[in-house]
Structure 1
């Protein structure tokens, strides 16, 4: 036990394998359901794969993995040779397995290889999710992956798809502490499935602001886009920021309608 307080508790686990050592810190914040894990590996093995395994009491027929601006479903069985050959799959910031009414998400910070298998459980069938950390192949470099590596990932029990999207973003873009007065969010939405992906200036250097958002749950969504600065004009554009049509507005702001996994780009002209 390396940390025990009113806000967080942490446990450090040290393991060895061959000539290698693995040091893990497992942290649980007060009131949180998410287990944060930091792993430091001094890897001195060759042609061996290191994975972090999570045997879960979840009867999942498929896994759900994030891809850019959406997610994809994959079966967990290996009924065919094609299924068996797909021994590893990729996921962007999160991978989720679920049964009706309950799901678990594995969040990662730039570690994208996974495998998902069905596993026996005393009361039925469970699911094992593994995150591939290191491979150490001989080609193209005989010293590939040797040395010290650090990984951040987290396990989020009870997570829906929208929870996985939000927490996956938070893990990859952690908060930075600063001494400054409180300010409202520059851009926000009121729908859990509508994700603000980026806020930036336009490429034409006009001073207009681009807000790019997308629907992340695979359904239709209608929400209001709240902006923390006065705007004189709002237009919907394509991905190259070319105007398509005026955005729908009312006295309280912008209203956006999104189809499943739709990417929407809004161009705002500040007052």
Structure 2
């Protein structure tokens, strides 16, 4: 599978000349309940073993796949493949602050060179009104070919590090089957629910409160941080959908906001001041666009 420079150069023949793992543990139910049910299985390739736990939740269509990998073989690339029942397909990839469509065919030399391409957190393959989204926060190499999509789990090159990706690993990814495309299925919203789970803890408080609320929930919060000049806070949002979004961002009144400025991505050029009304601002965002806001607080907090 590797070329001259193992860690960087791979060849495309792995997409059609792969070797399937041997099943060493038949699928068996390990957890059965109203909230979650799981089955366990295990597969082996040469001296390496992958143990999988596949879980279904009672309140979500998202399937969780937990992999415990003991990898001992060098010079191998390992992929999990998924197939949808469709002949004509498209693939959509999550990129920083946006989504890009890539071909699933290999008709041109450009497309042939893209037998594996990167994505940040998810990839959707869509065909004939059916979609399948693979979500992974720790793995970023994907191959979408025809009606199949592959996720790279392990690469164990020999050069320059002969022990690269050898040992024991835990890799978790998610499978989200849905109708229509990634926008109608609200994939950007679903991946945040999956990857940023709610943590519950005990506390004595009155009522409820949020630091910030975005309404409607169409924009994605990309950053919330201190500004580079240490003179305020940066809120960066983007619109991953195909329609223009008009939204209101409401801040907790404890913040006591003085001004809100729209700035560029590197925060050095103000592009105008946005009116603040009752500690909230109204913004409009075109499809696939980013907006960076600088929040300036009153000095007396």
TM (norm. structure 2) is 0.79
Question: Which residue of the partner structure matches residue 137 of structure 1?
Answer: 157
SS in 2 for 1:235: strand
User: Are 2:233 and 1:233 equivalent residues in the alignment?
Assistant: no
SS in 2 for 1:83: helix
Paired residues for 1:61-140 under 5 Å? 61-118=89-146, 127-140=147-160
Q: Aligned partners of 1:268 and 1:64: how far apart in 2?
A: 33
1:131-153: CA deviations, max 9, x gaps? 01112111112222111111111
* 1:23 CA drift (Å): 0.6
Structure with greater strand percent? 1
Contact 2:91–2:125 at 8 Å: present in 1 too? yes
Q: Aligned partners of 1:186 and 1:262: how far apart in 2?
A: 24
Q: Aligned partners of 1:177 and 1:117: how far apart in 2?
A: 41
Q: Aligned partners of 1:7 and 1:116: how far apart in 2?
A: 32
User: Are 2:178 and 1:158 equivalent residues in the alignment?
Assistant: yes
Question: Which residue of the partner structure matches residue 235 of structure 2?
Answer: 211
More moved, 53-62 vs 129-138? 53-62
Q: Aligned partners of 2:172 and 2:208: how far apart in 1?
A: 29
Structure with more relative contact order (C-alpha pairs < 8 Å, separation 6 or more): 1
Contact 1:247–1:254 at 8 Å: present in 2 too? yes
Contact 1:6–1:30 at 8 Å: present in 2 too? yes
Contact 1:107–1:167 at 8 Å: present in 2 too? no
1:153-181: CA deviations, max 9, x gaps? 10111164342222333444333343234
Aligned partner (choices 271, 274, 278) of residue 244 of structure 1: 271
Q: Which runs of 5+ in 2 are unaligned?
A: 1-28
Q: Aligned partners of 1:150 and 1:107: how far apart in 2?
A: 15
Please provide the CA RMSD for this pair.
2.1
Question: Which residue of the partner structure matches residue 186 of structure 1?
Answer: 211
Q: Aligned partners of 1:76 and 1:112: how far apart in 2?
A: 17
Q: Aligned partners of 1:238 and 1:82: how far apart in 2?
A: 33
User: Are 2:79 and 1:51 equivalent residues in the alignment?
Assistant: yes
1:204-238: CA deviations, max 9, x gaps? 333x3321111112442111112223423222122
Q: Aligned partners of 2:294 and 2:52: how far apart in 1?
A: 45
Question: Which residue of the partner structure matches residue 8 of structure 2?
Answer: none
Question: Which residue of the partner structure matches residue 3 of structure 2?
Answer: none
Number of residue-to-residue matches in the alignment: 262
Contact 2:252–2:279 at 8 Å: present in 1 too? no
* 1:65 CA drift (Å): 0.2
Contact 1:58–1:103 at 8 Å: present in 2 too? no
* 1:67 CA drift (Å): 0.5
* 1:22 CA drift (Å): 0.7
Contact 2:259–2:276 at 8 Å: present in 1 too? no
Moved over 6 A (4+): none
Q: Which runs of 5+ in 1 are unaligned?
A: 119-126
Q: Aligned partners of 1:197 and 1:266: how far apart in 2?
A: 11
Question: Which residue of the partner structure matches residue 283 of structure 2?
Answer: 256
Question: Which residue of the partner structure matches residue 202 of structure 1?
Answer: 227
Q: Aligned partners of 2:272 and 2:214: how far apart in 1?
A: 21
